[in-house]
Amino acid sequence: MHLSVWLCPFAEMLKKKLHLQYSQIKPLARTDQIKDLWILLDERLSFRDHINDKINEAFSMLGIIKRNFKHLTIQSFTMLYKNMVRSHLDYCSSVWSPYMKKDIEGMEKVQKRATKILPQLKHMNYFDRLKACKLPTLHYRRIRGDMIETYKIMTGKYDIEIAPSLVGVCSSVTRGHSLRLQKNKTKYDLCKCKFFFANRIVNICEYK
C-alpha cells in the first residue's frame, strides 16, 4: 500500500527525540503542532496556540453578530452568544483548560466584550451584565465541565480502557466520601502535568 509521507507528519511530546521513517529513503516529517479532533496539540502541551485560535474564532463570530443584528433583546442576544460564540470556547475545554493568568483573562475578555453589545447593559460592570443575561463566567463553566467529566469517569459512564485514570484515596479516615481522589506526583514541569485533568480536578473539588 502506497503511503503519502507528506500527509503523515508526527509531533513529539517527549524529551527524547524520535526518528521515524516509512522506509530507508522516506523519513517522516516532524512538526511542532498537530491537530486532532479540532484540538491543536503542541510539543510542550501548553495549548497556547489552540487557546489563541479559539479566542480569535470567538471574536470573529462576535463580529458577525454585531454586523448583522442591530436591535437585540437580552434573550435573543443570549441565544446567539451561546450558539455562535461560547461554543468555540467550551469545546473539549477539559482537555486544554488554560492555567496561565493571561490565557484565562484573554478568554474571559471575549465574554466581557460580548455583553457590552447590548446598549442597555453598557453602563453596568461585568458581573452585573452577567447577572442580567443569566450567564456564568467562562472560568466557572470550565470547572463545571471538569466536574461533569469526573462524575462520568468515577461512575463508569465511559469505557475504562480509554478514560483517564483517577486514583482513589486509600485511608481509614471516616470523614469525606468513597469517591475521594488522590493527587498524583508530577516529575516533569515541562508538560505542566500538575495542570492536567487528573490532577487539576483534585484541587477544584478540595478533596482532603
Whether the pLDDT of residue 130 is over 50: the answer is yes
Asked if 56 and 76 touch (Cβ cutoff 8 Å), the reply is no
pLDDT, tens only, 158-179: 887 777 777 666 655 556 556 6
Q: What angle do CA 54, 56, 58 make, to 5 degrees?
A: 70
Higher pLDDT, 171 or 114: 114
What lies within 8 Å, CB to CB, of 93 at 6+ separation is 141, 142, 145
pLDDT, tens only, 75-87: 999 999 999 999 9
Q: What is the pLDDT of residue 118?
A: 92
Which triple of cell numbers denotes residue 137? 463566567
Task: Give the position of cell 451584565.
Answer: 129
Indicate the pLDDT class of residue 208, thresholds 50, 70 and 90: very low
Q: What is the pLDDT of residue 15?
A: 57
Asked if 154 and 148 touch (Cβ cutoff 8 Å), the reply is no
Whether the pLDDT of residue 88 is over 80: the answer is yes
Q: How far apart, in Å, are the Cα atoms of 102 and each of 33, 160, 204?
A: 21, 35, 20
Phi, psi values for residue 22, rounded to 5°: -75, -35
Helical H segments across 39-86, by residue range: 48-68, 74-80
Q: What percent of the chain has pLDDT over 70?
A: 70
| Residue 97 CB-density burial (10 A; 0-12 exposed, 13-18 middle, 19+ buried) | buried
Top mean pLDDT of 129-133, 153-157, 194-198 is at: 129-133
pLDDT, tens only, 32-69: 777 878 888 887 778 889 999 999 999 999 999 999 99
pTM: 0.77
What lies within 8 Å, CB to CB, of 51 at 6+ separation is 96, 98, 103, 106, 107
Q: What is the mean pLDDT of the chain?
A: 80
Average pLDDT over residues 110-124: 94
Average pLDDT over residues 147-151: 87
